[in-house]
Chain A
């Protein structure tokens, strides 16, 4: 029997809307939702079929029987596994208190149910991967506007000039956003790209600044200086909404274009020319404040400077600029009923210190990496249980060896995941989640100028003995005595419960796969944005009261990044269009396209070391040594070497990805807690590595 099902992709965390065709419970076709994406889908999206049919994923609940990481598992029933986890959780709660359990997840639109579980248990310790991702950009946004980084949508399609600092937007691949960028370029918009290497995005740019690694902040400061000197800013907007503009003017005085150009290793005249264009293009200019900006010791300030440039452009709530995403309330519709919303907030202080030791950080998800210190010191209290939902901290954070040392102090490690993660492999219990094609998800809200409710529907029956997240959470909740917070026995009941206040019915999703809450785009009155900026003063705060209270500067004097010592390079990393970091490395069809990563080395630097294209090189740091093939290229700064993140996996049951390529995070020994103190983001591009030609390159043909 043939079927067509609306759903949402789950191959990466973008979660593009899809339409899936099946025949006799086999997936025959996946395409982007024609109403939103006109069929468009990326390679990863198409390879979802290979994920579904891949036996190299956990097929039933597993309980560890050897040492952690030994890879010996008992295959057990769901009842046995859930009973086991619940018993351990109850013991931890009885002995240490509920706050000794923490829970992490991937983030995104479906986190409500995960938050509800951990809060329902009585622990405040919900966290996610974001300190290795966007926390700096998020906190920079909060400190300036009082709203986080999702507090603005970028109207890229209608912008005249998009400026990207290391945001490889076309390889990161949000399908709708990529099409917006290309539509913008097709209609004559400009793209300026800044990076230490050339990327897929950079080749489409009108202007490319290849900067010295770690100098993004210098470039942004030089831009601010020149914008102010040229009076290329929106005076009216600044007078109306911005506080302490004078402090900014005084602060950037020493950072002129000539200085910035010298510091970054670019041409001053090109920078001047760029600012003259801005004067013409504003307010329809977007400076992307960065996505993965856990890079350098000053990435928070670099991102904040980009946010400030947006403010100078006066690009807020204008077409082609930054637009406040609208929610159900803006459409006169009540929001979805929240699981987490009905649960009393746990009273214990967070175990990572966020909210009390670190008052300037958003205590929503806090900062995962800070928990490792708590695990070791047991200050303010012991952490004894960790549940990770589709989040692999050992692939995500630096120095997995140091992480494991801290994790060894825990009584319970649980992975809820669709595949074997490095973390799962080290856990006590793996609770296998059904893949996105085999499961329903809770209904979620997608804010925007035209907000909507979105829904992931199960397409086919689970291939193995796996369950959806809402079933797993419910099963655990019932066993630890908090089942009342999850009042459903089926997806239909769950969705009806969520939708009840909204007036929307589940049948309303049948036509397009989503429910649009407004026919026309909603824009606020730009002349009256009072109350939209949630800072203490209600203004856009150049000098943030919160940062000042925390004893941190809002405008930090620039410090030049360390130059790699002779013979060393700065290790930078990124992604390609065909992999979603570590998630997809073992997918048969994506592995076929990119089975391993390489180390990009600048041609001149490679020549000095006698390294040629395709040679094996040894890359090492702090005693960690790995061997990888070199890609010799002119298009990377000589101080840096680069690799795609996610490789070097060590799960033996993932035969395709096992020891293929190198994992950058494994080279970052001793860097687990190196973070930007103001932004909370990790310093993932502060690792210096030694590269040399490997003895693995054969010199003789010895065969017989």
Chain B
């Protein structure tokens, strides 16, 4: 069972795309891969005011991920706490996972030729910190939520 999820409070989100850049700079990614995404529905008038809802998407960290079994080198792994991550040391850049994921989550890093994806900044989580997108969210709209079984 996954231990974490990222929750976006759409009321506070201002669609500034900060999270996308916070993620990239923390992982030192070049132009190319963007590991999370802020999007919104087309505007619709609600009591005279054109409104929309924002959505945040990164990796779903599937319970039964497609990307892990297709990885020929075992670089793509799922941790006990549910986080799906790529071991950069082991990845050979075959891009099998890129084809396997229905949502296009794993992406090639043109600088290294290997795959990168959202891993909830597990190095930060392990150090007792929050993911980059959450820590630096412009409006504190993004939260790291610990899931509980009920």
The interface stretch among A35-43, A402-410, A471-479, A544-552 is: A35-43
In the complex, whether B139 has a CB less than 8 A from a CB of chain A is yes
Whether A173 pairs with B21 at a CB distance below 8 angstroms is no
How many A residues face the partner with a CB closer than 8 A?
44
| Total A-B contacts with CB atoms under 8 angstroms apart | 102
**Smallest distance from the beta carbon of A241 to chain B beta carbons, Å?**
35
The B30-82 residues at the A interface (CB cut-off 8 A) are: 30-31, 34, 43, 48-52
Interface string of B130-143 (1 = CB under 8 A from A): 00000111111000
The interface stretch among A215-223, A228-236, A293-301, A587-595 is: A587-595
Interface footprint category on B = 20 to 34
Interface string of B113-150 (1 = CB under 8 A from A): 00000000000000000000001111110000000000
Identify which of B31, B34, B48 contacts A270 (C-beta below 8 A): B48
Using CB atoms, name the residue of chain B closest to A41: B136
In the complex, whether A206 has a CB less than 8 A from a CB of chain B is yes
Using CB atoms, name the residue of chain B closest to A591: B31
Known contacts A47-B21, A593-B21: A588-B49 contact under CB 8 Å: no
Whether A203 pairs with B138 at a CB distance below 8 angstroms is no
**Smallest distance from the beta carbon of B110 to chain A beta carbons, Å?**
12
Whether B140 pairs with A40 at a CB distance below 8 angstroms is yes
Identify which of A29, A591, A592 contacts B26 (C-beta below 8 A): A29
Inter-chain CA distance A30–B132, complex, in Å, is: 10
In the complex, whether A202 has a CB less than 8 A from a CB of chain B is yes
Whether A179 pairs with B139 at a CB distance below 8 angstroms is yes
Interface string of A192-212 (1 = CB under 8 A from B): 000000101011111110000
**Interface core residue of B25, B26, B30 (most chain A CB under 10 Å):** B25
In the complex, whether B16 has a CB less than 8 A from a CB of chain A is yes
Whether A39 pairs with B135 at a CB distance below 8 angstroms is yes
Using CB atoms, name the residue of chain B closest to A175: B138
Whether B136 pairs with A46 at a CB distance below 8 angstroms is yes
Whether B20 pairs with A593 at a CB distance below 8 angstroms is yes
**Interface core residue of B16, B22, B24, B30 (most chain A CB under 10 Å):** B16
Whether A635 pairs with B11 at a CB distance below 8 angstroms is no
Whether A203 pairs with B135 at a CB distance below 8 angstroms is no
Inter-chain CA distance A234–B50, complex, in Å, is: 33
Q: Which residues on A sit within 8 Å (CB–CB) of B31? A: 588-589, 591-592
Whether B50 pairs with A46 at a CB distance below 8 angstroms is no
In the complex, whether B99 has a CB less than 8 A from a CB of chain A is no
In the complex, whether A370 has a CB less than 8 A from a CB of chain B is no
Known contacts A40-B139, A203-B50, A635-B50: A171-B14 contact under CB 8 Å: yes
In the complex, whether B15 has a CB less than 8 A from a CB of chain A is yes
Inter-chain CA distance A420–B139, complex, in Å, is: 32
Q: Which residues on A sit within 8 Å (CB–CB) of B138? A: 40-43, 173, 175, 178
In the complex, whether A325 has a CB less than 8 A from a CB of chain B is no
Whether A203 pairs with B51 at a CB distance below 8 angstroms is yes
**Smallest distance from the beta carbon of B56 to chain A beta carbons, Å?**
14
Q: Which residues on B sit within 8 Å (CB–CB) of A30? A: 25
**Smallest distance from the beta carbon of B119 to chain A beta carbons, Å?**
17
Known contacts A171-B14, A205-B49: A182-B136 contact under CB 8 Å: no
**Smallest distance from the beta carbon of B8 to chain A beta carbons, Å?**
13
**Smallest distance from the beta carbon of B50 to chain A beta carbons, Å?**
5
Interface residues of chain B: helix, strand, loop or mixed (majority): loop
Using CB atoms, name the residue of chain A closest to B15: A200
Using CB atoms, name the residue of chain B closest to A50: B25
Q: Which residues on B sit within 8 Å (CB–CB) of A39? A: 135-136
In the complex, whether A680 has a CB less than 8 A from a CB of chain B is no
The A22-78 residues at the B interface (CB cut-off 8 A) are: 29-32, 38-43, 45-47, 49-50
**Interface core residue of A29, A43, A50, A589 (most chain B CB under 10 Å):** A43
Whether A178 pairs with B139 at a CB distance below 8 angstroms is yes
**Interface core residue of B17, B52, B135 (most chain A CB under 10 Å):** B17
Inter-chain CA distance A206–B47, complex, in Å, is: 9
Q: Which residues on B sit within 8 Å (CB–CB) of A40? A: 136-140
Whether A593 pairs with B49 at a CB distance below 8 angstroms is no
In the complex, whether A367 has a CB less than 8 A from a CB of chain B is no
Known contacts A198-B43, A202-B49, A635-B43: A32-B14 contact under CB 8 Å: no
Q: Which residues on B sit within 8 Å (CB–CB) of A577? A: 14-18
In the complex, whether B3 has a CB less than 8 A from a CB of chain A is no
Interface string of A427-441 (1 = CB under 8 A from B): 000000000000000
Known contacts A31-B135, A203-B52, A577-B14: A46-B22 contact under CB 8 Å: yes
Q: Which residues on B sit within 8 Å (CB–CB) of A8? A: none
In the complex, whether A562 has a CB less than 8 A from a CB of chain B is no
**Smallest distance from the beta carbon of A227 to chain B beta carbons, Å?**
21
Q: Which residues on B sit within 8 Å (CB–CB) of A38? A: 140
Identify which of A42, A200, A207, A591 contacts B18 (C-beta below 8 A): A42
Q: Which residues on A sit within 8 Å (CB–CB) of B14? A: 170-171, 173, 178, 182, 200, 204, 577
Q: Which residues on B sit within 8 Å (CB–CB) of A42? A: 16, 18, 138
In the complex, whether A605 has a CB less than 8 A from a CB of chain B is no
In the complex, whether A643 has a CB less than 8 A from a CB of chain B is no
Q: Which residues on B sit within 8 Å (CB–CB) of A593? A: 17, 20-21
Using CB atoms, name the residue of chain B closest to A588: B31
In the complex, whether A578 has a CB less than 8 A from a CB of chain B is yes
Inter-chain CA distance A591–B30, complex, in Å, is: 12
Given contacts A41-B136, A43-B138, A208-B50, 13 further A-B contacts (CB under 8 A): A29-B25, A29-B26, A40-B136, A40-B140, A43-B16, A43-B22, A46-B24, A179-B139, A200-B14, A203-B51, A205-B49, A208-B48, A635-B50
Q: List 16 A-B contacts (CB under 8 A).
A: A29-B25, A29-B26, A30-B25, A41-B136, A46-B18, A46-B24, A49-B25, A173-B16, A178-B138, A178-B139, A198-B50, A200-B14, A203-B51, A203-B52, A577-B16, A590-B21
Task: Return the 10 tightest CB-CB contacts between A and B, nearest first.
Answer: A577-B16, A46-B21, A43-B21, A208-B49, A43-B18, A198-B50, A170-B14, A41-B136, A39-B135, A42-B138
List residues of B whose CB falls within 8 A of some A CB: 11-12, 14-18, 20-22, 24-26, 30-31, 34, 43, 48-52, 135-140
List residues of A whose CB falls within 8 A of some B CB: 29-32, 38-43, 45-47, 49-50, 170-171, 173, 175, 178-179, 182, 185-186, 198, 200, 202-208, 270, 577-578, 588-593, 634-635
